[in-house]
Structure 1
Amino acid sequence: MYELKIVTHFAAAHQLREYEGGCERLHGHNWSIEVFVEGDTLGDDGLLVDFRVVKDATQRVLDVLDHRFLNDLDPFRTENPSSENIARYIFERLAAELDDGRIHVSRVIAWESENACASYSKP
């Protein structure tokens, strides 16, 4: 099994509904996002997938989130924009674009600080 990882970033504000504590108030993070793609075979070019393909697809997803108030965006109007839900949102958007039978998105990690993160993967 081959695995490829890219790391990128976005900044956004959010507030967690029904949370007792500081995170219920409006605040922001500079999220670091790790995207993992895996597959069993390499293409004729010796690559699992070009890093640029994964980076470009990820950037298109993050452009929707970057420098926004996440609670105002459709995916998070009724669902809390937690790191867990952000990781799942990015995972599902990327899987819809990148999964092709040979490669698939295996995991997304959303770091909201240098020491706190959440990941999403499918079994």
Structure 2
Amino acid sequence: MITCSKIYTDIPFAHRQHLHSGHCSQIHGHNWDIKLDFACSEYDSNGFVVDFGKLKYLKKYIDDNLDHACVFSDEDPLAKQILDSAPAGVYQPYWVKSASGEGLAKHLYQVFSALVREHEGERVWISGIEIFEDRKNTVKFIPQL
């Protein structure tokens, strides 16, 4: 099988690990990278797994939803209080089940997979996603098919 990858770099957003016993429980940010691995059942008419030039919808999702956002867990007991305490527009909340890198990788895999199916059909799919919190820490999610 041949796969290809697209990397979206330097996406600034914050998160909070509300269950963490250390400093990660505080809101803090990173310049994240997101690497998507694509696979296909057959190449397109150009001989590509996926045409990178036609993935603008993924970049738009990132720009509209993650760029300068603050990722909160649905289960964070302080999230609503944090958001309510700030003037409107201070936070751009982005809700996930788990605000960990692992939770974010699984969530974004699901979101991006749905977008790829919507735009590309069944011919191509995301075979894995890797989230880079920084140069030292990454999480990779590979679905069990």
Q: TM-score, normalised by structure 1?
A: 0.87
Q: Identity of counterpart residues, as a percentage?
A: 22
**Which residue number corresponds to residue 111 of structure 1?**
132
Paired residue type of 1:81: A
After TM superposition, which residue ranges in structure 1, 4 or more long, deviate above 3 angstroms?
none
C-alpha distance in 2 between matches for 1:20 and 1:5: 35
Using the TM superposition, give the Cα deviation of residue 118 of structure 1 relative to its aligned residue in structure 2, in angstroms. Answer: 0.7
Counterparts of residues 67-106 of structure 1 (less than 5 Å): 67-71=68-72, 72-73=93-94, 75-76=95-96, 79-99=97-117, 100-106=121-127
C-alpha distance in 2 between matches for 1:32 and 1:44: 30
Which moves more between the two structures, 98-107 or 24-33? Answer: 98-107
Consecutive unaligned residues of structure 1, counting only runs of 5 or more, are none
CA RMSD of aligned residues (A): 1.4
Using the TM superposition, give the Cα deviation of residue 58 of structure 1 relative to its aligned residue in structure 2, in angstroms. Answer: 2.3
Contact 1:61–1:90 (Cα < 8 Å) also in 2: no
**Aligned residue pairs, count:** 119
Paired residue type of 1:24: S
Cα 1:101–1:47 shift into 2, 3 Å: same
Paired residue type of 1:44: S
**Which residue number corresponds to residue 43 of structure 2?**
42
Consecutive unaligned residues of structure 2, counting only runs of 5 or more, are 73-92
**Which residue number corresponds to residue 3 of structure 1?**
3
Cα 1:89–1:57 shift into 2, 3 Å: farther
With a CA cutoff of 8 Å and minimum separation of 6, indicate the structure with the bigger relative contact order.
1
**Which residue number corresponds to residue 60 of structure 2?**
60
Paired residue type of 1:35: L
Cα 1:8–1:81 shift into 2, 3 Å: same
Using the TM superposition, give the Cα deviation of residue 61 of structure 1 relative to its aligned residue in structure 2, in angstroms. Answer: 2.6
Q: TM-score, normalised by structure 2?
A: 0.75
Structure of higher CA gyration radius: 2
